[in-house]
Amino acid sequence: MKKAVSIILLVLLIDQISKIYIKTNFLYGEEVVVFNWFRIHFIENNGMAWGAEFGGKAGKLFLTIFRLFAITGIGYWLFKSIKNNAPNLLIVAVSLIFAGALGNIIDSVFYGIIFNTPHNATATLFASQPYGKLFFGKVVDMLYFPIWSGNLPSWIPFYGGKPFTFFNAIFNVADTAISTGVGILIVFNKKVFKK
């Protein structure tokens, strides 16, 4: 239990500190080039991968409520895994997934009521006029790894000759934790799922 709680708290701390720092110090869309293949690029989305949206406000509310149910299920899975003395790798993986999901839920549930989003200025934490309502916050993303950009060879069907960037997703620490946890479950599935 101590290991799981430590992982969850560490991921949440790094995730929320990085998001709050970016939101209060970067203009929307601002980018800092660390290396050609790694940049800090501030964007926000309504909570789906690659900024996808569905159903407007009702869809956003549904997504947030679904996430709350999902995190409850993941928390139960983690609790049962610890109680049943599951392999440490499984506990680490589920802890990472739980922490990442919780990190993004914090954005979705609370950021709309604690931040403002002024034009051409950085956001204010605990603003007197926040940008949204409870459950309607936007998820902050900032990690961008455009490892390769260019035009694809013309012989590639459908996409040939078109501009392409690998890897074009912009994500955050919570997303990284979820992806790492899922990766551990996939790569080490025989060790984590012995039965």
What's the CA gap between 45 and 67, in Å, rounded? 15
Catalytic one of 175, 177, 178, 192: 175
Is residue 15 annotated as part of the catalytic site, yes or no? no
Is residue 175 annotated as part of the catalytic site, yes or no? yes
Catalytic one of 105, 141, 144, 184: 141
Cβ contact 41:128 at 8 Å: no
Helix, strand, coil percent values for the chain (each to nearest 5): 50, 15, 30
Cβ contact 81:94 at 8 Å: yes
What's the CA gap between 23 and 96, in Å, rounded? 23
What is the 8-class DSSP label of residue 152? Answer: P
Residues with active-site annotation: 141, 175
